[in-house]
């Protein structure tokens, strides 16, 4: 019975690929935890008008307005006032 031993050079080449695989997997899972909401600002209000998110979650808000100029004041994000022009978009 013969035994096959891997050469040390090949083992050293495999190690960086395994490390990269774990790093990539961690980044993908972190990106998937961001809650994204598309909010349409109209003359009559916002659609949707209520958004519920678990405390501590990362949130991305995308504001659009089809008809008229709107201002949004998301003080929780450290922003005083944002103006959104008709047909425009603002991402927080």
* pLDDT, tens digit (0-9, with 9 covering 90-100), for 8-59: 555 566 666 667 666 666 554 445 578 888 888 888 888 888 888 888 888 8
Question: What pLDDT score does 7 carry?
Answer: 59
Task: Name the pTM for this structure.
Answer: 0.55
Say if residue 5's pLDDT is above 60: no
Does 79 map to a domain? yes
Q: Is residue 17 domain-resident?
A: no
**Residue 3 covered by a domain:** no
The confidence band for 72, taking pLDDT boundaries of 50, 70 and 90, is confident
What's the number of CA atoms in the CB half-sphere (13 Å) around residue 40?
8
Answer whether residue 1 is part of any domain.
no
Domain assignment present for residue 43? The answer is yes
Residue 10 in domain: no
pLDDT at site 14: 66
Count of domains in the chain? 1
Helical spans, DSSP H, in the chain: 8-31
- What domain range is 81 assigned to? 35-91
């Amino acid at each position: 019975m013969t035994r096959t031993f891997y050469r040390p050079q090949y083992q050293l080449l495999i190690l960086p690929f395994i490390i990269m695989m774990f790093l990539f997997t961690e980044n993908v899972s972190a990106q998937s935890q961001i809650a994204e909401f598309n909010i349409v600002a109209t003359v009559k209000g916002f659609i949707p008008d209520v958004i519920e998110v678990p405390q501590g979650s990362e949130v991305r808000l995308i504001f659009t307005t089809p008809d008229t100029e709107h201002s949004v004041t998301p003080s929780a994000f450290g922003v005083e006032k944002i103006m959104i022009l008709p047909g425009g978009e603002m991402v927080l």
